[in-house]
């Protein structure tokens, strides 16, 4: 190696070193701010993933997130799990996954569960543990919907799929051992938003009958994506950037104040009278905190029985990430107890579901 070559290599090394230092100095303030944000999280829910600034800002990021979500999830073995297709009229048949104890009492109550993922991500597999627990502990049939996702299938395709599954559950109630008057709907995040919209749509159409709504940090209001001040909420897991992308994908256009289509965003429905009783649970660090609290209060003012539970120091989806944390178990126990009461069953023992 000549003296000139060694000099060039040395200069490149110095340049790379200075670049790394500059990058580190640029990142350090962000890490420091994130460390302060993490300190607001209840210790039992802290996880290294919270230091990663993850957001879905475009189709490329969505593709990566979908690939990451294809990790196989073990199928529960202590309940019977089955998959099938149900008719949806002129639309493609809808996939569902059912969970039930082998000795399930008949007729039993039932829960139509709708998975989360911002309308753009997810499969029923991500809810295996929750659906298994509810089916086993409450002795009910749980049906999870594999609805079509945006942006390939914008509103109302996903909601139509959920309605088809609900209609199947109601129409087949006698043959599958379900009490048609004890069918609840529920979901987490976007699934909670779809469950709320489905309840509104069923009310306006005169059926199918829904006796209860189980809404876990539901994604209800596209107008949240228009706000710039979130009071520090939405730092973890589901961010304002992801929310903007997801609502635009689901609505098929950028979210705005002029959205008039019924059921596109559950929080936009003005008349909430006559809806089924509801339970809404959300963490006070969740991006959806304000819209969830507002919806709960509006339901109550409309004469709808609604229990609101706010979990201090909890971020979006924390119970799915830190499943064994006492706070996560307590949160899900509250869900189970609320569903049990909504279906007219004895309350589940704390921490079992």
Active site residue 171: no
Other CB atoms within 10 Å distance of the CB of residue 161: 26
Active site residue 160: no
Q: Residues 6 or more apart from 222 whose CB is under 8 A from it?
A: 247, 251, 255, 259, 264, 265, 268
Give the active site residue among 128, 161, 316, 320: 316
Q: Are 109 and 183 in contact (CB under 8 A)?
A: yes
The burial of 171, by beta-carbon neighbours within 10 Å (0-12 exposed, 13-18 middle, 19 or more buried), is given as: middle
Q: Are 173 and 107 in contact (CB under 8 A)?
A: yes
For residue 186, report the phi and psi dihedrals to the nearest 5 degrees.
-160, 170
Q: Would you give the distance in Å from CA 331 to the centre of its chain?
A: 15
Q: Are 304 and 266 in contact (CB under 8 A)?
A: no
Give the active site residue among 157, 222, 286, 292: 286
Asked if omega into 227 is within 30° of 0 (cis), the reply is no
Give the active site residue among 55, 189, 225, 320: 189
Active site residue 103: no
Report the alpha-carbon distance of residue 353 to residue 349 in Å, rounded: 8
Q: Distance of CA 49 to CAs 38, 231, 256, 314, 318, Å? A: 10, 21, 32, 14, 11
Phi-psi region of 313 (alpha: psi -120 to 50; beta: other; left: phi over 0): left
Report the alpha-carbon distance of residue 63 to residue 83 in Å, rounded: 25
DSSP string for 270-332: S--TTPPPEEEEEETTSTTHHHHHHHHHHHHHTT--EEEEEETT--TTHHHHSTTSHHHHHHH
DSSP string for 62-86: HHHHHHHTTS--PPPSSSEEEEEEE
Tell me the two tokens of residue 161: 């799929």
Q: Which residues are catalytic?
A: 189, 286, 316
């Amino acid at each position: 190696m000549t003296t000139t070559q060694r000099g060039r290599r040395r200069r490149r090394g110095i340049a790379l070193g200075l670049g790394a230092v500059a990058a580190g100095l640029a990142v350090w303030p962000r890490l420091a701010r994130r460390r302060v944000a993490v300190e607001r999280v209840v210790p039992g829910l802290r996880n290294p993933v919270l230091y990663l600034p993850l957001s879905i800002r475009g189709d490329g990021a969505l593709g990566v997130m979908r690939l990451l979500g294809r990790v196989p999830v073990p199928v529960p073995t202590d309940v019977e799990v089955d998959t099938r297709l149900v008719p949806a009229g002129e639309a493609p048949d809808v996939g569902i996954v059912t969970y039930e104890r082998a000795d399930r009492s008949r007729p039993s109550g039932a829960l139509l569960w709708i998975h989360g993922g911002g309308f753009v991500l997810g499969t029923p597999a991500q809810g295996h543990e929750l659906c298994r627990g509810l089916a086993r502990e409450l002795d009910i049939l749980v049906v999870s919907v594999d609805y079509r996702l945006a942006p390939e299938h914008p509103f109302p395709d996903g909601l139509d799929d959920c309605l088809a599954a609900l209609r199947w559950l109601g129409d087949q109630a006698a043959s599958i051992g379900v009490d048609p008057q004890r069918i609840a709907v529920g979901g987490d995040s976007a699934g909670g938003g779809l469950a709320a919209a489905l309840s509104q749509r069923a009310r306006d159409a005169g059926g199918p009958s829904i006796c209860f709504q189980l809404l876990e940090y539901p994604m209800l209001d596209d107008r949240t994506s228009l706000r710039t001040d979130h009071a520090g909420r939405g730092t973890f897991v589901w961010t304002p950037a992801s929310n903007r992308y997801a609502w635009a994908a689901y609505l098929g256009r950028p979210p705005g104040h002029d959205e008039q289509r019924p059921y596109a965003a559950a929080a936009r429905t003005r008349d909430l009278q006559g809806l089924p009783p509801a339970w809404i649970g959300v963490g006070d660090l969740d991006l959806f905190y304000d819209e969830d609290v507002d919806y709960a209060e509006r339901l109550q003012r409309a004469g709808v029985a609604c229990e609101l539970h706010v979990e201090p120091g909890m971020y979006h989806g924390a119970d799915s990430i830190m499943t064994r944390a006492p706070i996560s178990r307590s949160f899900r126990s509250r869900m189970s107890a609320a569903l049990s009461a909504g279906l007219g069953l004895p309350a589940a023992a704390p921490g079992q579901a």
